[in-house]
Amino acid sequence: MSKENSANLSNIGAVDRKIVRRYRQYLRLERSYTQNTLDAYERDLQKLLNYYSDMGIDFRHVTLEQLDQFAGTLFDLGIQPRSIARILSGVRSFYRFLLIEKEVDSDPTELLESPRIGKHLPDVLSLEEIDAIIAAADASKPEGIRDRAIIEMLYSCGLRVSEMCNLHMSELYMEEGYIRVRGKGRKERLVPIGEEAIRRLREWFVVRQGIQAKPGEEDYVFISPARGRHLSRISVFVKIKAYAAAAGITKDISPHTFRHSFATHLLEGGANLRAIQAMLGHESIATTEIYMHIGQQHLREAILQHHPRNMEKP
C-alpha cells in the first residue's frame, strides 16, 4: 500500500486496514492487476470505507439501501456517471472478496445498480485517413520514421498504446509473422503482424541501430533518438494529435482510435468476432481455453484475409 493511500485510510481501524491490505494482495496475486490498477481500486475503496467510517457504520454490515445512499452521495458531489460506475465496480469486487474470506455472510452489492451510461461510439478512421496521418510524420527525420512505424503498429496489430510503448525487441517474431504482447494484468498474447507493419519496423531498425540506448532501455522497440529511453503514452498521444491535425483530420483522434479502427475494419471485412476479441486481448475471452478453440493459425488467417492492408493486394 502506498504512503498516500495509507494516510487516506487513517480514520479506519487497524483490523480494517489489514483487510484492505489482504484485498490488495488478492488483486495482485489472484487477479494479476498492475500497480496502476491496484492504486485505482484502492483509491475508490477509500471513498467507501471513509464514508461509512464517518457515519459510524461497519462496512461489513452495510445494506443495499445504504450502498444506494453512498452511490447517491457520489452523484451529489458531481462525480460523473462513468466514474461512479467504475467506483461501484470496485465496491462489488471488494465485497466478493469479503464473501470469499468469510468476512461477510452475504454480498450486499448483488442487486446494486450502476448509473446508466450513454454509449459513445469512438471515431473510426478510413484507410486513407490512416495513411494521411502516417504521411504527416517527416520521414527525413529519425523521429518521423519511428512514428510512422508506431502508427502502423497501432493500426495493423490493434495494440493499446501502453502495449506499444512497452514492446521489446525480444518479443518480435517477424519471420514467423507474430509479436508477443504483454497486455492488461500482465497477460500475454500472440498477435499476427502484417507485411506493411514489418516493412515500417525494418525502416525504423535501420535508424535505431545508430541510436545509443540508455542502460536498461536497449530491448525496447521504440526509443527516443535524443534521450535513448522508451516512449511514454502521453508523448505518443501528443504526437498523434499533431499528425492528425497536420493531415487535416478533424475527428477526435487518440492512439486508441487506431485500435478501434483495426477491429472495425476486420469485422467489416468478415473476420470472426471471437478472433478479433482474442487479438485485442479482451479479458473476457483472452484465456487459454479460448486460444485452444480459435488457434493462432486461425488468428493469422483472419489478418491475412480480412485486414485492409492485405486486401489491397489480393
d(CA 264, CA 282): 15
**Which residue's entry shows cell 439501501?**
65
- Backbone phi and psi for residue 173, each to the nearest 5 degrees, phi listed first: -125, 70
The radius of gyration of the chain's CA atoms, rounded to the nearest angstrom, is 23
d(CA 82, CA 299): 33
- SS3 label, residue 235: helix
Going by C-alpha positions, the residue among 283, 36, 28, 29 that lies closest to residue 162 is 36
Length of the chain: 314
Going by C-alpha positions, the residue among 90, 105, 80 that lies closest to residue 49 is 90
d(CA 222, CA 208): 8
Hey, which residues are catalytic here?
Answer: 160, 184, 256, 259, 282, 291
d(CA 3, CA 187): 28
d(CA 122, CA 136): 22
